[in-house]
């Protein structure tokens, strides 16, 4: 009887442990098939991602998603300002998350920035499902708070996915904040909308982020005074086509084998973001280039 009970307990534990992996794997396959269907429907060539390559890609994205789950537990209450242990080497950095997520998503980037002498602050914008405009006030409050404590009144911003669009909305609504923005890095942000929402029940932010979004078509870009870098994942299953992640006048970076979530967790992406944020102001900041990794 004891052995039967022990076996049942182990089976339950194994099932609970496997559930996240099965859910994530099924979701990735669904999004992979939807992405392929979109390119076929539009009769345009998709960035090649054969099934063999997708398996490796999916494993890396799955690990990235599990990492975000761990960070959500580890840094759920850590949105506040985080200062480096040593000397401060530059302006503070505001970190803005994407749709359905919270400030813990940028935990890896924040730790890497702290090692380079940068103070950071994350912001959790609120519950998923609301229109994008509802996310502007919490971002504005966090931005003003960081500006008030910045030595020269300027801050840098790293924004993932939806966060990059909400940042543009904040600047459009509060143009007095534009001079305080020194440098911006957006990661997989659907500046021109994403096709991945097609067919899903549209509501709130999803409607605002579609390819036919009137909000995005009327939204101004970033101020010319801010050095802008837009980063895209070539095989992003959430934001595509990849060119929708870029804006005119921006430095353009495309990663070949990093996914939408991997932009937050993969070492190659984190190191590139930190290098951009921490590079000297001299040396052609704001110029446009197209490196690919």
Q: Which CATH number is 256's domain given?
A: 3.40.50.1820
Residue 8 binned pLDDT confidence (cut-offs 50, 70, 90): low
Alpha carbon distance 176, 178 (integer Å)? 6
What is the structure's pLDDT at 276? 98
Q: Verify that 107 and 209 share a domain, yes or no.
A: yes
Q: Verify that 265 and 193 share a domain, yes or no.
A: yes
Residue 289 has pLDDT above 50, yes or no: no
Alpha carbon distance 251, 286 (integer Å)? 7
Task: Work out how many domains the chain is built from and give that number.
Answer: 2
The Cβ of residue 54 has, within 10 Å, a number of other Cβ atoms equal to 17
Residue scoring higher pLDDT (130 or 97)? 97
Residue 136 has pLDDT above 60, yes or no: yes
Q: Verify that 58 and 101 share a domain, yes or no.
A: no
Q: Is the Cβ–Cβ distance between 93 and 112 less than 8 Å?
A: no
Considering the domain boundaries, does residue 80 fall inside one?
no
Considering the domain boundaries, does residue 35 fall inside one?
yes
The position carrying tokens 């911006």 is 184
Alpha carbon distance 95, 123 (integer Å)? 7
Q: Verify that 70 and 215 share a domain, yes or no.
A: no
Alpha carbon distance 275, 277 (integer Å)? 6
Considering the domain boundaries, does residue 110 fall inside one?
yes
Residue 9 has pLDDT above 50, yes or no: yes
Beta strand pairing call for 120-123 and 93-96: parallel
Q: Verify that 140 and 27 share a domain, yes or no.
A: no
The percent of residues above 70 in pLDDT, for the chain, comes to 88
- Domain containing 147 equals 93-278
pLDDT in tens, 162-208: 999 999 999 999 999 999 999 999 999 999 999 987 766 555 677 78
Considering the domain boundaries, does residue 82 fall inside one?
no
Instruction: List the 181-187 sheet strands across, edge first.
Output: 120-123, 93-96, 155-160, 181-187, 227-233, 251-255
Tell me the average pLDDT of the chain. 88
What is the structure's pLDDT at 284? 42
Tokens of 246: 């870029």
Return the half-sphere exposure (C-beta side, CA atoms, 13 A cut-off) of residue 172. Answer: 14
Alpha carbon distance 271, 84 (integer Å)? 17
Q: What is the pTM of this model?
A: 0.89
Alpha carbon distance 6, 102 (integer Å)? 38
Q: Is the Cβ–Cβ distance between 170 and 132 less than 8 Å?
A: no
Q: Is the Cβ–Cβ distance between 234 and 256 less than 8 Å?
A: yes
> Which 3 state secondary structure label does DSSP give 202?
coil
Q: Verify that 57 and 159 share a domain, yes or no.
A: no
Q: Verify that 22 and 164 share a domain, yes or no.
A: no
| Cis previous bond, 241, omega within 30 | yes
Residue 283 binned pLDDT confidence (cut-offs 50, 70, 90): very low
């Amino acid at each position: 009887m004891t052995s039967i009970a022990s076996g049942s307990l182990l089976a339950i534990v194994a099932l609970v442990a496997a559930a996240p992996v099965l859910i994530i794997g099924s979701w990735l396959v669904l999004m992979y098939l939807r992405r392929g269907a979109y390119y076929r429907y539009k009769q345009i060539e998709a960035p090649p991602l054969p099934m063999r390559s997708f398996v490796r890609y999916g494993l890396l994205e799955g690990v990235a998603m599990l990492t975000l789950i761990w960070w959500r537990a580890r840094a759920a209450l850590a949105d506040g300002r985080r200062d480096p242990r040593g000397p401060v080497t530059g302006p503070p950095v505001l970190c803005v998350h994407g749709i359905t997520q919270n400030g813990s998503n940028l935990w890896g980037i924040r730790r890497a920035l702290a090692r380079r002498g940068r103070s950071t602050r994350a912001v959790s914008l609120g519950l998923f499902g609301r229109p994008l405009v509802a996310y502007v006030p919490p971002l504005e409050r966090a931005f003003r708070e960081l500006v008030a404590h910045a030595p020269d009144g300027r801050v840098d911003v790293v924004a993932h996915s939806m966060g990059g669009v909400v940042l543009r909305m904040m600047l459009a609504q509060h143009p007095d904040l534009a001079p305080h923005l020194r440098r911006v890095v957006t990661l997989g942000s659907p500046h021109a909308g994403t096709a991945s929402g097609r067919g899903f029940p549209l509501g709130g932010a999803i409607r605002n982020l579609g390819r036919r979004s009137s909000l995005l078509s009327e939204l101004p870009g970033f101020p010319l005074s801010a050095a802008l870098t837009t980063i895209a994942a070539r095989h992003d299953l959430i934001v595509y086509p990849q060119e929708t992640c870029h804006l005119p006048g921006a430095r353009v970076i495309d990663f070949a084998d990093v996914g939408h979530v991997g932009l937050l967790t993969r070492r190659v992406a984190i190191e590139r973001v930190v290098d951009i944020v921490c590079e000297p102001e001299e040396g052609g900041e704001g110029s446009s280039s197209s490196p690919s990794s």
